[in-house]
Amino acid sequence: PSLSIKDNVIEASLPTGQSVQVHLYGATVTSWKTNGKEQLFVSEKAHLDGSKPIRGGIPLVFPVFGPPPQNHATSSLPQHGFARNSNWEFLGKSTSDAPGKDSDKADLTVKLDFGLSHSMLTEEFREAWPYEFGLVYSVTLTKDTLETSLQVRNEGKQNFEFQVLMHTYLSIEDISDVRVKGLDTKTYLDKTLQGSSHVETSAALAITQETDRVYQNLDPAVPIDVTSAKSDQSLFSITREALTDVVVWNPWIEKAKGMADFGPDEAYKNMICVEAGSVASWQTLEAGEAWEGGQSIKSRL
């Protein structure tokens, strides 16, 4: 696998052609290509200079899925916490090959590791959330998947509570053709309806309006499939580990226009966020303990 590091952007690619790009700002994955095709959506107006969380790719939400609740240890943090707007460090790459195979390189994978800890935060964030923590975020590229996983360590003497979410913006051709499968019978909070609770009745969810739903208590091993209604093909299939909630978000027409960093206006047709996380309640991490969770996204191509 080849690796390049330039202007705080890390790029890795496999001999089989797949590539991934990660900005140190937020450890945000900003590109994932398979067969020359971009799989992630990044807004044309996204800020890539570290002045604002990147609108697209996979921003990482930690330690709070915003807006932060009142009277909680995260109350003074910005929307979605500080991970997506902090400068991470690159810890290095590792490669692996399936044993016994060397001729076609088809099983080669590359893993990029990124770290963030309390001392690396801005003073403002350190004061707002004074816990000693260590994060290691691993981005693994394989022939047909992109895997992201986060390890959270409590390096202090006090317990802390956190939420985490991998806010993946998937690139799609046409939102009207997209169906999301794997959610039926699941309870969700509808953030467009004052967070009211509902039960999903659709086996193939169509997105026809602003959608902002937090599906809860899913079995992480059961894939969420983003499919094409026309071809009935799976476009993306997402399995998770230790992440039991899934947020489905599309801003639709008015919200898309209202976001200064979202563009062009019609781009809401070309994206859907399917976000694997642990956000419905809080994970408590005892002093000295570690937690790990992640997702694996398989693309059709």
* Interaction site with ligand BG6 (CB under 6 A): 79-80, 167, 191, 212, 247, 249, 275
Of 85 and 140, which has the nearer Cβ to ligand BG6?
Answer: 85
Of 216 and 228, which has the nearer Cβ to ligand BG6?
Answer: 216
From the list 87, 29, 80, the residue with the least C-alpha distance to 57 is 29
CB of 11 to ligand BG6, least distance (A): 24
Chain-centre distance for alpha carbon 208: 23
CB of 289 to ligand BG6, least distance (A): 27
Distance CA 157, CA 130 (A): 11
Of 167 and 240, which has the nearer Cβ to ligand BG6?
Answer: 167
Tokens describing residue 200: 């999903």
Of 116 and 276, which has the nearer Cβ to ligand BG6?
Answer: 276
List Cβ neighbours of 48 (8 Å cut-off, separation of 6 or more): 23, 25, 30, 54
Of 47 and 191, which has the nearer Cβ to ligand BG6?
Answer: 191
Residues paired with residue 224 on neighbouring β-strands, in sequence order? 238
Query: Of 167, 200, 241, 289, which is the active-site residue?
Result: 167
CB of 1 to ligand BG6, least distance (A): 31
Of 80 and 298, which has the nearer Cβ to ligand BG6?
Answer: 80
Verify whether residue 132 is a known catalytic residue. Answer: no
Residues paired with residue 160 on neighbouring β-strands, in sequence order? 285
Q: Is the peptide bond before 264 cis (omega within 30 degrees of 0)?
A: yes
Distance CA 99, CA 295 (A): 24
CB of 64 to ligand BG6, least distance (A): 11
CB of 247 to ligand BG6, least distance (A): 5
- The backbone torsions φ and ψ at residue 167, rounded to the nearest 5 degrees and listed phi first, read -85, 65
CB of 274 to ligand BG6, least distance (A): 10
Query: Of 275, 286, 289, 292, which is the active-site residue?
Result: 275
Verify whether residue 127 is a known catalytic residue. Answer: no
**Residues annotated as part of the active site:** 167, 275
